Chain A
């Protein structure tokens, strides 16, 4: 990144362990993603000055907000930061417009009313200025919170799980609106979420956080499909993870020996032939073919098996396919619900699956389990199936 607008470095041993360093560009949306309790919100609170870790450095557009070394610390009210809280934290005794105007202490009083109306119109709440927070729906409250965060004329916008308290339909609409709003904002935006789909949909880059540590930074596509290690893969809930050995490399393939099955992957030359590795394939990179007599099991990364379990979700079906072989590994994949209806797919059906070569990702990892066994249980599937 040429010129980061927001630079964050935090470290402390306890009570909440933190060890992260990241930067965010001036028009970038960076998602901090990780399981509940991983320290994401604490990182956000440290940026806003609501929390003060033992060692911290926060700089925004050249000004120092926190720097333990020099002893500099600007209290929250002196930082030009807009923050949307998880439950919005609207001032319950103020109207929507007054909530927004309350964050405009830096502007002359006569400007505040018109500017509050302008911001409420920007988030699609024109006409609701006089409503009290309890008279607004969850989605409307979230928009007031966004307008209030922008009212500060912030140099950075911090969003703490802003979509977690609204229903799914509202959330889908708000995603679209935030996407549009973001294109008009020239400031770093930090989004805290535990929802990988949300991060993938909204963020330019994401930081994977676990136990206060930064495990991986990259584009959402990279982080979700190519985790740096098994720990990261578990957090992003990569379903199909297995132990294997590197067989060989050739011009455009790395070949794996997966309990006697020969698997082709895109070149991963950093691993030596014979090395034990963990490989993974996202469930979106496993294709399901209807069994065709004589052809099943033929071709690159083509494997035979039977449907072990089906779990029907709203628009898709989650499938576990038990592959043939003594180790009987299970592959998890998601197919459209109409495919299952059309093909009459049911438990016990014979199927062929194909693993996309470019979808196979190889990691250094633990080898605690025998080759061929799943290195991590397909927890998502079990949850969906139960």
Chain B
């Protein structure tokens, strides 16, 4: 078992989720409650990581993050190091590819709040931020947690994008799934087996949790 990779994966998942919590809430709430031209296109763009091969995503991110690219240059200017083959680069890639996993459940949860309840909050004297804190978040929390759990689990399991953007630098970019691949390449099947089992168990627990939360959300609205 590659504990360093395990630790790195968990750290990557935690940081990704920490970024996705506010981003997902803001994007999900915006998509749920706003109507604008091109909303369908925006939603489609957001869902792209669900259907594109991870290598394609990884390729675009690698090109986009490269030191010659505008984003790469800007990042280099601000933080003093590049995005490619670094943990920071992995975090940015991970946040981007996990957007649909985080935003979609949150958006659905916000959409499920009956409009008259939010309007009742407004005429009860709640300012928009209070409506968010006292109405939206308490009613949408199962969707929010689902989004975070799915993103965390997906980050732990992501392979193609991580390999393209991060490579396999121990302690920096070698995550659990990369380590499994490396172990198999090195014929260390027992390590690969252990780590695969750990990921399998975690994915099962994550999915069971999200299903339980959706059931709870449905029940509480019953």
Contacts and interface: CB of A to CB of B under 8 A. Distances in A.
A81 B130 CA distance: 18
Interface stretch (A71-79, A135-143, A256-264, A371-379): A71-79
Interface string B203-222: 00000000000000000111
A83 interface: yes
A75 B119 contact: no
A90 B120 CA distance: 8
B139 A152 contact: no
B125 A89 contact: no
Contacts of B128: 77
A91 B121 contact: yes
A77 B125 contact: yes
Interface size class of A (residues with CB under 8 A): 20 to 34
A249 B75 CA distance: 94
A81 B123 contact: yes
Contacts, number: 67
Contact of B116 (A49, A85, A103): A85
B221 A50 contact: no
B122 A50 contact: yes
A76 B220 contact: no
A77 B139 CA distance: 20
Contacts of A148: 120, 124
A83 B124 CA distance: 8
B126 A77 contact: yes
A89 B114 CA distance: 8
A311 interface: no
Task: Give the interface centre of B125, B128, B220, B222 by most chain A CB atoms within 10 Å.
Answer: B125
Given A85-B116, A87-B116, A134-B222, A93 B138 contact: yes
A50 B116 CA distance: 10
B126 A85 contact: no
Contact of A79 (B121, B123, B222): B123
Given A83-B120, A89-B116, A89-B119, A106 B139 contact: no
18 contacts: A48-B123, A49-B123, A75-B122, A76-B119, A76-B122, A77-B126, A77-B128, A77-B130, A82-B123, A89-B120, A91-B121, A91-B134, A92-B117, A93-B139, A93-B220, A103-B124, A151-B124, A152-B124
A78 to B, nearest CB: 8
B contact face: mostly helix, strand, loop, or mixed: helix
Contacts of A82: 123
B221 A76 contact: no
A102 interface: yes
B221 A77 contact: no
A79 B119 CA distance: 13
Task: Give the interface centre of A83, A86, A106 by most chain B CB atoms within 10 Å.
Answer: A83
B199 interface: no
B96 interface: no
Contacts of B92: none
B117 to A, nearest CB: 5
A364 to B, nearest CB: 41
A124 interface: no
A200 to B, nearest CB: 27
B93 to A, nearest CB: 36
Interface in B88-128: 114, 116-117, 119-128
Contacts of A48: 123
B222 A77 contact: no
A92 B139 contact: yes
A82 B123 CA distance: 7
B111 to A, nearest CB: 16
A50 B125 CA distance: 12
Interface string B116-154: 110111111111101000110011000000000000000
